[in-house]
Structure 1
Amino acid sequence: MSEVKKIATRESYGHALVELGKEHEEVVVLDADLAEATKTGIFKKEFPERHIDCGIAECNMMGIAAGLAATGKVPFASSFAMFAAGRAFEQIRNSIGYPHLNVKIGATHAGISVGEDGATHQCNEDIALMRTIPGMVVINPSDDIEARAAVKAAYEHQGPVYLRFGRLAVPVINDRPDYKFEIGKGVVLKEGTDLTIVATGLCVNESLAAAAKLEEEGVHAQVINIHTIKPIDADLIAEAAKKTGKIVTVEEHSVIGGLGSAVCDVLCEREPVKVLKIGMNDVYGESGPAVKLLEKYGLDAAGIYAKIKAWL
């Protein structure tokens, strides 16, 4: 059996920017002294005149991005999620969101899979923060193929977009001819009748593995990939709730304000059912190997399976 191909979505981001840069001269990439880590250095090598290192000044970087967008450029402002969504929240809200400028925010190193960098750098709050900004699109791709498609879709969308990428290499799961990425549209990866697992980001692959284990025990779980958390695919989620009667959300993010909250917002209005939210339960992360942290906090396949079994 051949080994599963694994690629970090931050790598996908860097390569996708180069492809965009070749096709569109108005694409400009900014980073905050993290070009190697965010992989915007790949773009810098290809288009040095269209890459701006703003230094360790993320708030200023967002202001520069806003100014560039106002002149007709399409800036991709890049940094770790903790610094992009966290440190620069005010500038994103007031300088980008309020005037609804065409700025794309590439936030890498999100979630606890940042690993050894520890709790200060493991941003589990960024989706919640970005969801609150009016008009902001929030995308959290599950693999290399989806990440590349998301960058292209973000460019084509007129308005601010928050793109969430990870440090950890994750399996490529969308390598199929019929794969299609569309902002605001979820993807059914597995049919089921007993419950629906709604996952995002790296948790999509782990949820598929958990569903396979449940299948062996006669529990037929539907699995949905929600790559766009805002605007969320309300119709698909409501249909799944009506069909299976139970919803489980899985995210590498706080259960407060993230995918789980977004799904519950939909269900409260459209199709009230029981919901289990799997994610970071109002705690900070800690320093350690990414894979071990995912295991400890129950965000790997075994942990997701165990939590669903206990809930059922």
Structure 2
Amino acid sequence: MTSQNVSVRVSEFIIGGLDLVQRPIAVGVVILIVYLVAVVANIINILFIINDQKLHKPMYLLICNLAVVDIMYTSSASPTMIGVLVAGVKTISYVPCLIQMFAFQLGWVMEMFALAVMAFDRLLAVSCPFHYHSYLTNARTLVLTYFLWMVGCCFVAVLPATVIPLPHCYSVLKYAFCDYPAVIRTTCVDPNYYFNLVSIIIFFLLFFTFSFICLSYIGIIFFVKLSSHSDKKKMGSTCLSHLIVVTCYYFPVFVLVILTRLGVVLTLEERNGLNIGSILVPSLVNPFVYCFRTNEIKNKIVNIFKKSIHLNIIK
């Protein structure tokens, strides 16, 4: 940026990243529907797990944690985008913008941590089926989850810590909501230093979590080969749910983060599309994958519908 830029006191930002969207109301309604379905589905998963003592097991506690992460992740940005597209509310105050940025990035990081821990859980279940419940107890699962939330907060705290001291020269955000690149581009400083700083953190987290998941599945494949045919089928069904969730999350993230840093140029529409997809798709897919591919939760839903139909017939 040139020295001609004069810093201004920014009390609110204008979200300009969605100005070129054709048929904004239609797009906003679609986002609204997907958002509501995702939130309701995740809340239902959480309620099922909390209210059923039989589901108070490490795997289901991790599913519950993933549902909490998904709700926070999609709720951090979706209401703002819906407000811009449907209601035409394009402004957001400075402090809520920073809070949104922190919540979005924390959800982004915690999604990686949650998927990595779930891969470790599946590895333990496959490799040590007889000692699984003694190695990974409910208490240890809760402590591990709490620890990861603390670590996630520490990583993400770097972002507002680097933004708050900087002077701002612009009040228009180029992207669809208050994420870090959008906010840092409104400052009067050269953004490359801050982008490189955050890229180091992101690459570390992506490399660590994705490598951990891959290594876990290498171990799972090894132990599955040694198992009987019936055990292989059961293990494959259990791990497929996690693989679907991992793919839905990491694919857009790798395109957005890694390929763009390697020189791939995305238009504003392409970047916003990938951003929206990376927020909504995992949060929508995750609860349904675990509802329909986890027998205990699926059977519970079926029983509820059967009871509801039976009561309606009696009436």
Same fold (TM over 0.5): no
- TM-score normalised to the size of structure 1? 0.27
Higher strand proportion: 1
Greater radius of gyration (CA): 2
- TM-score normalised to the size of structure 2? 0.27
Higher helix proportion: 2
Q: Which structure is richer in relative contact order (CA contacts within 8 A, separation 6 or more)?
A: 2
